[in-house]
C-alpha cells in the first residue's frame, strides 16, 4: 500500500492504493479515513492526479481510473450505483436505494455512502436529502457545496 498527496482547491487530497489501483481518496480531516496510508510516493498515481486536476479545472466530467474500494457486497453495490450519477446531477438516498432494488434501504444506503473510500471519483457528494438539502458529507458540507457548485458551473469559495 502506498499513498500520494496532491494539492487541490479543497485542500490536500491523499490518494491510496496498490499496484496502480486506487482504493482510497481522502481529504484533510475526512471522516472514516484510515489511520495509516502506507509509504508515501507522490508519483504513485499520476493518472488520478491528472484527472482530478482536470476535474477541478472544469475540463473533466468523468473519471477513467482503476478502482479497488474495500467494502461489503452491499457497499460495493451502492458505490457502483454512485458511479452512475452523472456529473452535474444529484440523487437522493431513497432514489439510490430504489436504483439498487432496495427501496426501503435508504438509511443503509446513506451509511454506505458515508463510508465511500474514494470520494469525488465515486461521487457521493452528488447525494442530497429528499427536500434538496445538503446532508452529511465525509469531507464536510463546505466541500460538498463546493463540488456541487463546481459541477453546476458556478464555483463557490470553500
Annotated active-site positions, please? 124
- Identify the H or E element spanning 14: strand 13-18
HSE-CB of 131 using CA atoms within 13 angstroms: 3
d(CA 89, CA 25): 21
Q: In this structure, what C-alpha cell is assigned to residue 67?
A: 478502482
- Selection from 88, 95, 93, 65 nearest residue 147 by Cα: 88
| Residue carrying the nine cell digits 458505490 | 79
Strand order from edge to edge, sheet including 2-6: 21-27, 13-18, 2-6, 39-40
Amino acid at each position: 500500500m502506498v499513498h500520494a498527496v496532491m494539492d487541490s482547491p479543497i485542500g490536500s487530497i491523499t490518494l491510496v492504493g496498490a499496484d496502480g489501483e486506487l482504493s482510497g481518496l481522502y481529504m484533510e480531516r475526512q471522516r472514516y479515513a484510515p489511520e495509516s496510508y502506507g509509504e508515501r510516493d507522490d508519483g504513485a498515481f499520476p493518472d488520478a492526479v491528472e484527472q482530478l486536476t482536470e476535474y477541478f479545472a472544469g475540463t473533466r466530467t468523468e473519471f477513467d481510473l482503476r478502482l479497488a474500494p474495500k467494502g461489503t457486497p452491499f457497499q460495493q453495490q451502492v458505490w457502483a450505483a454512485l458511479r452512475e450519477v452523472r456529473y452535474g446531477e444529484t440523487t437522493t438516498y431513497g432514489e439510490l436505494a430504489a436504483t439498487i432494488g432496495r427501496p426501503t434501504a435508504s438509511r443503509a444506503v446513506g451509511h454506505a455512502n458515508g463510508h465511500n473510500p474514494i470520494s469525488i471519483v465515486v461521487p457521493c457528494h452528488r447525494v442530497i436529502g429528499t427536500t434538496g438539502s445538503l446532508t452529511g458529507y465525509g469531507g464536510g458540507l463546505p466541500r460538498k457545496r463546493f463540488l456541487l457548485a463546481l459541477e453546476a458551473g458556478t464555483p463557490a469559495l470553500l
